[in-house]
Amino acid sequence: MRIALFADIHGNLPALEAVLAELQNEAVDQMVCLGDVAAVGPQPHEVISRLRQLGCPVVMGNTDAWLADETVREEMKKVLPGRVADLMAWGVEQLTAGDRDYLQSFSATYEIDLGAGQTLLCYHGSPNSYDDILLATTLATDVDRMLAGRTGTVLVGGHTHVAMMRRHGDMILLNPGSVGSPVVVFPEIRRNPLWAEYLLLDVVSGRITITFGHVVLDGTVVQQAANQAQMPHADWWGGFY
């Protein structure tokens, strides 16, 4: 069994298409999206349409909740930086009623039986909150809190935009990194924003193999997408490339 996992597309269709093109050569049996699919990027509707075509499971990310739930959105307006708040408001205007219904259909977690008594648990921030920030440097006591009541052989989430693999007890914790957000969430952690990132999980006769992958993006193409969409702050957003 080969499972492809990707997260944090953030309305960046060229980046998503680059990852999907790569996965066409990987003989993938199943794909799972770990949330944050549409907000703060130039093509929220187009990305949602592409995911609906794929028909893969998607877990609820924090920005998915922003777009899908007006109550959550109003609360976030109070704390978001001005540019991000503008992009969120613009993104909502690009969505159809069907898009919002699709976002609301996302589950908090998604579990896959890997056989031989092993399981894969998928989420966004943590299994208990899409807002949790789980990094390689997060204290073990904080990880215990984030994972409270949840089990699995492999647990995988997104949210931080930082690829990760760490051991916690008898569990392996993973993060594929970000497909489509050029914004470096944690500037102190070096990463290349020209990468569209993903992860492959291979399970053969109970043996699990983990592969991190990335596709180098053409920043010009991404900037053109932002300009053509006439999204607010397009130069600022594209400037991260």
The ranges assigned to domains in the chain are 2-238
Q: Which residue has the higher pLDDT, 72 or 5?
A: 5
For 12, other C-beta atoms within 10 Å of its C-beta total: 30
149-177 tens-digit pLDDT: 999 999 999 999 999 999 999 999 999 99
- pLDDT above 80 for 241: no
Beta bridge partners of 79: none
Q: Tell me how far apart the alpha carbons of residues 168 and 187 are, in angstroms, rounded to a whole number.
A: 25
- Cα separation, 239 vs 233, whole angstroms: 10
Cα separation, 174 vs 163, in Å, equals 7
pTM for the predicted model, two decimal places: 0.94
What pLDDT digit, counting tens, does each position of 21-54 carry?
999 999 999 999 999 999 999 999 999 999 999 9
Query: In the CATH scheme, what is the code of domain 2-238?
Result: 3.60.21.10
- Return the SS3 of 98: helix
Strands (E), 83-145: 110-115, 118-122
User: Does the pLDDT at position 181 exceed 90?
Assistant: no
Strand partners, 171: 168
pLDDT-above-70 percentage for the chain: 94
